[in-house]
Amino acid sequence: MAVVALIGTLDTKYQEYSWLVDQLAKHGVGVMCIDVGSFSTSPIADISSDEVLRAAGANPQELRDRRDRGEMMQAMSEGVAVIVRRLADKKTIDALLAVGGSGGSSVAASAMQALPIGFPKLLVSTMASGDVKPYVGEVDTTLMYSVVDVAGINSISTMVLGNAVAAIAAMAKAAKARSVVAPEPQAPLIGITMFGVTTPAADEARKTLTELGYEVLVFHATGTGGRAMEKLVESGLLAGVCDLTTTELADDLVGGVLSAGPQRLEMAGRVGLPQVVSLGALDMVNFGAKETVPEEFLDRNLFVHNPTVTLMRTTETEMAELGRRIAAKLAASTGPTELFIPLRGVSAIDIAGGPFFDESADAQLFAALRTGLADSQVIIHELDQAINDPGFGAAMATALH
């Protein structure tokens, strides 16, 4: 029987969760209740809040005595992520459901983000009609807006939560069925990172890889996109990575809006997946509309891409640091890794006559990479081309094959 894990503050939402348990049973799935209530000792909990806190390495009694809500939420978030990951790995649970306001949603979202893509995860939340990035992250979390506060079972929640229960029970069954049926043979999957200013290179790489018999997934290097790709690498679903557009590292270094965090470009190396890497769009840091660019940057080389996107050229110093960081990440790779350097420019606007053309800055990046990778296993290809010139994307694709 497929099993749905229910995450909730069983102290404050006892009535609602009891109803959910009953309804899930009617849909023919098993239920495992995980209690994340701060002061909860619920009779319907299969995993108590004490167990959740201990999974985060915390001492439940000490934590409760301190009565620090922020610290408690943090420990609950960490603990529940550890627990659901463990249960999912053991195939004890097949899906995750949670219902809550902003606090409960935040704890549940942490658990959902700890699970692989494809594992069904549904969050019914009062927060699901605004900026949901903190809840969804880079995984396939499904969000349902609760419309009214999640408080009591009434005419509205009977419908909204009734739909949620039907949905998660069916998804749990579908996921369990997938896990017991051998999947049809598919072409091996390759992830490619793309940006507007590296599209010609990415298109060429995609075309070449498709001709070579691969299936290609394209990720926009918007922060979420890069993290989503690395999440898939971690899940073991990709056969290789064509990481053509590593621009998110510039946003991480300088403080742009499209950072994928400092760990970007490490996952393929960590799990030993074959990767070809280039330096796409490292000439730029991304901001929103012109008026949102921080004051400290107003005298820099800024380029208004469109009304909601302003690009800032990276400096020599920043490029040298990016070179050191990328070299360190690639040198630590445990799998086959090749670096492709486009000597004549790293984006569509970093070419002779383009607004971001800056040979000295690019030279700093390239030099730091050569130095940092000198004693490594990484193969460096220096091409006397700009990244979007014909042949560059194809060369990366061919090397990955």
193 lies in the binding site for a copy of itself (CB under 8 A):
no
Report the residue from 221, 228, 244, 320 that binds a copy of itself according to the rule CB under 8 A: 228
401 binds a copy of itself (CB under 8 A): no
Query: Which residue type, as a one-letter code, is found at position 384?
Result: D
Strands (E), 72-120: 95-100
163 binds a copy of itself (CB under 8 A): yes
Please report, in angstroms and rounded to a whole number, the separation of the first and last CA atoms in the chain.
41
Given a contact cutoff of 8 angstroms between Cβ atoms, the answer to whether 99 and 8 are in contact is yes
Kindly tell me which of 114 and 232 has the beta carbon lying closer to a copy of itself: 232
141 binds a copy of itself, rule: CB under 8 A: yes
d(CA 358, CA 314): 9
Handedness of CA 317, 347, 222, 376 (dihedral sign): negative
148 binds a copy of itself (CB under 8 A): yes
Rounded Cα gap, residues 52 and 85, in angstroms: 12
> With CB under 8 A as the contact rule, which of the stretches 5-13, 40-48, 71-79, 136-144 interacts with a copy of itself?
136-144
In angstroms, the CA 59 to CA 203 distance is 53
CA nearest 101: which of 81, 130, 72, 74? 130
Of these, 25, 147, 380, 394, which contacts a copy of itself (CB under 8 A)? Answer: 147
Smallest distance from a copy of itself to CB 145, Å: 5
Q: How far is the CB of 197 from a copy of itself (least distance, A)?
A: 18
CB 369 within 8 A of CB 304: no
Tokens of 273: 């997946």
The minimum distance between CB 119 and a copy of itself, in angstroms, equals: 8
Of 151, 271, 302, 343, the one binding a copy of itself by CB under 8 A? 151
Q: Which of 30, 103, 137, 354 binds a copy of itself (CB under 8 A)?
A: 137
Question: If we measure between CA atoms, which residue out of 149, 165, 40, 157 comes closest to residue 102?
Answer: 149
Stretch that binds a copy of itself, among 171-179, 259-267, 353-361, 369-377 (CB under 8 A): 171-179
The nearer residue to a copy of itself, 165 or 387, going by C-beta atoms, is: 165
Quote the CA–CA distance of 358 and 2 in Å, as a whole number: 58
Contacts with a copy of itself in 105-134 (CB under 8 A)?
Answer: 117-118, 120, 122, 128-133
Q: What is the 3-state secondary structure (H, E, C) of 254-322?
A: HCCCCCCCCCCCCHHHHHCCCEEECCCCCCEEEECCHHHCCHHHCCCCEEEEECCEEEEECCHHHHHHH
- The residue count for binding a copy of itself (CB under 8 A) is 59
Mask for 18-57, x = binds a copy of itself (CB under 8 A): ---------x------------------------------
297 makes contact with a copy of itself (CB under 8 A): no
Looking only at the bridges linking them, the beta strands covering 121-125 and 142-145 are: parallel
Q: How far is the CB of 172 from a copy of itself (least distance, A)?
A: 9
The verdict on 178 binding a copy of itself (CB under 8 A) reads yes
Beta carbon of residue 65, minimum distance to a copy of itself (angstroms, whole number):
27
Q: Which of 237, 257, 271, 309 is in the footprint of a copy of itself by CB under 8 A?
A: 237
- CB–CB of 190/240 below 8 Å? yes
How many Cβ atoms from other residues are within 10 Å of residue 344's Cβ?
18
Answer yes or no whether residue 156 interacts with a copy of itself by CB under 8 A.
yes
**Calpha distance 43→14 (Å, rounded):** 9
Binding site for a copy of itself (CB under 8 A): 27, 117-118, 120, 122, 128-133, 136-149, 151-152, 154-156, 158-160, 162-163, 165-171, 173-175, 178, 183, 186-187, 189, 215, 217-219, 224, 228, 231-232, 237
